[in-house]
Amino acid sequence: MKKIKLLPGAVILISFVFLISSCDKKEESSGIPSNQEQYANKDKELKDREEFLNIREKQLKDWEARLKAADSTLMANGKLDGTQLDTAKTTDSAKIKEKALKEKKMEEKEKELNKKLDNPKVAIGDYLEYIQRGISDSKTFDANMKKASQVWENREAESFKKNYKSVKKFVIVEEPRVVSQKGGNAVVTVRVKQTNTGNDGKEYEKESTITYNLSADKNGKWKIKSNIVK
């Protein structure tokens, strides 16, 4: 009889604990962005940088074209009088100042983007993300292997296709970590786990520590020179 009286209380207590646990799980899961969201954010960052560089390249080409046109006009009108020549010089000076101001603003924006996107750890993170995407989606395998090859100084996309063709799963066990960075050189290490399909058709899992040696070009863009797998 005593056990029967205690039963409703026990049921209520268990229900209360289960409710709290469910709420905690919901809060935890809601605070962690999905892989899809992370990929979308990374794509936006890379797209912003690509658009910025395209705008910068177009502006420089337009400026060079205007300078050539101005030089051609001055040469064709070599007998300009003093007033016309002074006006031409003043116009050119204003254009030069305008160009210098635009260049300064562009450089500041480029530095800001480089600080946000271009550091050796981020470069390795982007590279590994391309590998993961290619392995997880066969439709984008070739495109992502090509993007991965572009993070290297001198590696063909075909070598990546060959190396990762039999890889079924690629997981980052420990995030990229900068071991050393001095001037335009850096060393980054990361721990990964990949599952390969052997010649016998069986799957084999291997965990490795990869050390990457990187160098930065004149624009501060980091490229992988070599790596060591242990």
Closest C-alpha to 160, from 176, 174, 139, 146? 146
Report the DSSP pairing between strands 222-229 and 203-216. Answer: antiparallel
- Is the whole model's pTM more than 0.75, yes or no? no
Residues 95-137 have pLDDT tens digits of 776 777 777 777 766 666 555 556 899 999 999 999 999 999 9
Helix pair angle (157-164, 120-136), 10° resolution: 60
pLDDT attached to residue 217: 82
Rounded Cα gap, residues 190 and 178, in angstroms: 9
Phi, psi dihedrals of residue 212, rounded to the nearest 5°: -105, 135
Residues 166-220 have pLDDT tens digits of 999 999 999 999 999 998 899 999 999 999 988 888 899 999 999 999 999 877 7
